Amino acid sequence: DPPLAGQKALVAVDAGALRGRALQELEETLDAVTCAYVAWYAWHHGPARQ
């Protein structure tokens, strides 16, 4: 809770087939999505569920 939407395109990518800049861009995007979700989760639920 809350559900994460819009991630299907990201997880469908074959990261093993990527090299160089393409792999770096995928890693940075996944990092950004993860950080944003964790921040939103903490803000939404507050200290009670951290």
C-alpha torsion sign, points 40, 42, 7, 25: positive
- Count how many domains the chain has: 1
Q: Torsion angle, CA of 19/24/27/30, rounded to 10 degrees? A: -120
The pLDDT value given to residue 49: 63
Rounded CA gap, 4 and 35, in Å? 12
The reported pLDDT for the residue numbered 29 is: 94
Q: What is the pLDDT, as a whole number, of residue 50?
A: 56
Is there a domain that residue 23 lies in? yes
Q: Tokens standing for 30?
A: 């996944």
Tens digits of per-residue pLDDT, 1-50? 778 888 888 889 999 999 999 999 999 999 999 999 999 888 888 877 65
Give the pLDDT score at 42.
87
- 45 in any annotated domain: yes
Domain span holding position 31: 8-49
d(CA 28, CA 37): 14
Tell me which residue has tokens 């819009």: 6
